[in-house]
């Protein structure tokens, strides 16, 4: 396994920039993306279901950016921003859950009919997003707070002051990698732990998206596919658990015959969850993560 030495690293304009300047640029891009995605989702999500998914992704990316560059930010303002991003994402939960369930139930008409009869319309489920959007866009509230946060991005740790982006990234990433590896779940981990790990995978993936240009292209080409493999397995588990949770809420709302049909379906779904869990651990062995760590460190 070839170690990537410093002289082989990319020496582009971004790597030579001050880490603070790169932080300002990344924060502006990610936070403004949430604004534009929120506006589109509130106006056109009934036409394009992907807009809700895109908004959720953009909030996750923005949070990852705030976490990565936390040492440059005023703590209270960063916490306020993360709180708003969380509220935006949570306001889309009901719509997202409904979309996931309909996709999973494709081809199962009797179950779909029962689910749709007991679920509120998509427009009604989207009201929480519209409400939070109205508050945050009133007098450009969120945009104003974003601009104020960007104006206050500065070096807050004397020992790092003035570092080039490349140098700063190489100092930052090892700790983030170890935090990630320490969160890898054991085979006995409950589903809630797998869900938390899924979020950790996304966070590190989005951070790699932010910093990969400080490394040779091989870094991103090597690491990114590994993230996608893990996310796919964990995403499958998460979707099936979502279906189980939502149907458990509705199991007493139908007739006796309908409820029996739903119970039978849920029993099959629990087997699917168990299989998805096995599939995850079949891929994500200690050897898998040892290889992932070695490949990651090869570029540090």
pLDDT at position 126 is 77
pLDDT at position 169 is 94
Of the pLDDT bands very low, low, confident and very high (cuts 50, 70, 90), residue 158 is confident
Section 146-164 average pLDDT? 89
Tokens of 127: 């009201």
pLDDT at 15 over 70: no
The CATH number linked to 24 is 1.20.120
- Write the DSSP symbol of residue 214: G
Q: What is the spatial distance between Cα 72 and Cα 149, in angstroms, rounded to a whole number?
A: 10
pLDDT at position 254 is 64
Section 137-152 average pLDDT? 90
Among 113, 132, 163, the domain boundary falls at 163
Is the same domain home to 46 and 143? yes
Structural domain of 56: 19-163
Q: What is the spatial distance between Cα 159 and Cα 142, in angstroms, rounded to a whole number?
A: 32
What percentage of residues in the chain have a pLDDT greater than 90? 62
Instruction: Identify whether the C-beta of residue 118 lies closer than 8 Å to the C-beta of residue 95.
Output: no
Tens digit of each residue's pLDDT (9 = 90 or more) over 244-295: 998 887 776 666 777 787 888 899 999 999 999 999 999 999 999 999 999 9
Is the same domain home to 155 and 47? yes
Of the pLDDT bands very low, low, confident and very high (cuts 50, 70, 90), residue 49 is confident
Of the pLDDT bands very low, low, confident and very high (cuts 50, 70, 90), residue 10 is very low
User: How deeply is 25 buried, as exposed, middle or buried, from its count of CB atoms within 10 A (0-12, 13-18, 19+)?
Assistant: middle
Is the same domain home to 138 and 269? no
Tens digit of each residue's pLDDT (9 = 90 or more) over 85-130: 999 999 999 888 888 888 888 766 656 555 555 455 666 677 888 8
Is the same domain home to 65 and 134? yes
pLDDT at 45 over 60: yes
Task: Give the CA distances from residue 113 to residues 101, 118, 253, in Å, rounded to whole numbers and listed in that order.
Answer: 12, 9, 13
Is the same domain home to 169 and 96? no
Is the same domain home to 113 and 219? no
Among 98, 132, 163, the domain boundary falls at 163
Is the same domain home to 37 and 139? yes
Section 70-74 average pLDDT? 96
Among 145, 163, 181, the domain boundary falls at 163
Higher pLDDT, 54 or 10: 54
pLDDT at position 115 is 58
Q: Which residues contact 11 (CB under 8 A, 6 or more apart)?
A: 166
Q: What is the pTM of this model?
A: 0.86
Is the same domain home to 181 and 266? yes
Domain count, the chain: 2
């Amino acid at each position: 396994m070839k170690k990537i030495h410093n002289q082989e690293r990319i020496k582009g304009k971004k790597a030579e920039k001050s880490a603070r300047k790169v932080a300002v640029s990344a924060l502006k891009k990610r936070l403004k993306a949430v604004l534009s995605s929120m506006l589109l989702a509130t106006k056109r999500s009934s036409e394009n279901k992907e807009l809700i998914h895109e908004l959720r992704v953009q909030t996750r990316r923005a949070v990852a950016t705030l976490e990565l560059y936390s040492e440059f930010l005023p703590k209270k303002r960063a916490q306020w921003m993360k709180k708003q991003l969380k509220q935006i994402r949570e306001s889309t939960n009901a719509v997202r859950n409904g979309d996931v369930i309909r996709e999973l139930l494709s081809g199962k008409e009797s179950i779909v009919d029962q689910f749709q009869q007991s679920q509120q319309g998509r427009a009604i489920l989207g009201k929480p997003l519209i409400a939070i959007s109205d508050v945050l866009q009133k007098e450009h509230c969120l945009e104003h707070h974003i601009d104020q946060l960007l104006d206050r991005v500065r070096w807050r740790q004397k020992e790092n002051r003035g570092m080039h982006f490349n140098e700063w990234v190489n100092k930052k990433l090892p700790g983030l990698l170890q935090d990630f590896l320490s969160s890898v779940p054991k085979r006995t981990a409950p589903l809630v732990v797998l869900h938390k790990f899924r979020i950790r995978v996304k966070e590190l993936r989005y951070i790699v998206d932010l910093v990969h240009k400080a490394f040779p292209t091989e870094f991103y080409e090597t690491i990114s596919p590994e993230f996608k493999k893990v996310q796919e397995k964990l995403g499958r588990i998460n979707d099936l658990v979502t279906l189980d949770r939502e149907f458990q809420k509705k199991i007493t709302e139908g007739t006796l015959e309908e409820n029996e049909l739903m119970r039978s379906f849920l029993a099959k779904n629990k087997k699917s969850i168990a299989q998805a869990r096995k599939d995850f651990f079949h891929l994500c062995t200690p050897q898998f993560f040892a290889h992932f760590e070695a490949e990651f460190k090869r570029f540090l």
